[in-house]
Amino acid sequence: MAKGYWVSVYRTISDPEKLAAYNKLAGPAVQAGGGRLLVRGGGRVVAHDAGIAERTVLIEFDSFEQALAAHESEAYQEALVALSDGVERDFRIVEGID
C-alpha cells in the first residue's frame, strides 16, 4: 500500500501567534492520526524554478487514506480554526509511490 504525505509550504506568515497556536494543536492531532513529521522548518531550503524558500513541512502516513482521515479529524480541524488567516500556505495531500 502506498504511503500518504502532507506537503505544506508557507508562502507568508502574517501572524506568528496563530501559527504557534496551530502548532500546539496540530502536532498531537497529526500523531493521533498516525502521522510522522519528516521535515519542519525553513532554515535550510534551496528553491529552484518557481519554488519558494520558506518554511516547509512534510508529514508521512502509512497510507493515503490515513492522511486524508487525519486531515478531516476533529482534532486537526480545531487546529485549522486556530490557524485561520495567520498564514498563506500551499497544502497538499499526496499519494506516495508504492
Q: What is the pLDDT of residues 28-84, one digit of tens each?
A: 999 999 999 999 886 788 889 988 888 899 999 999 999 999 999 999 999 999 999
Please name the helix (run of DSSP H) or strand (run of DSSP E) that holds residue 49, with its range, or none: none
Confidence band (pLDDT; 50, 70, 90) for 20?
A: very high
Q: Residue 28's closest CA among 19, 37, 15, 17?
A: 37
Single-letter amino acid, residue 89: R
pTM: 0.91
CATH number at residue 67: 3.30.70.100
Q: What is the pLDDT of residue 50?
A: 86
Contact 3, 63 (CB under 8 A): yes
Total of domains in the chain: 1
CA distance 87 to 65: 26
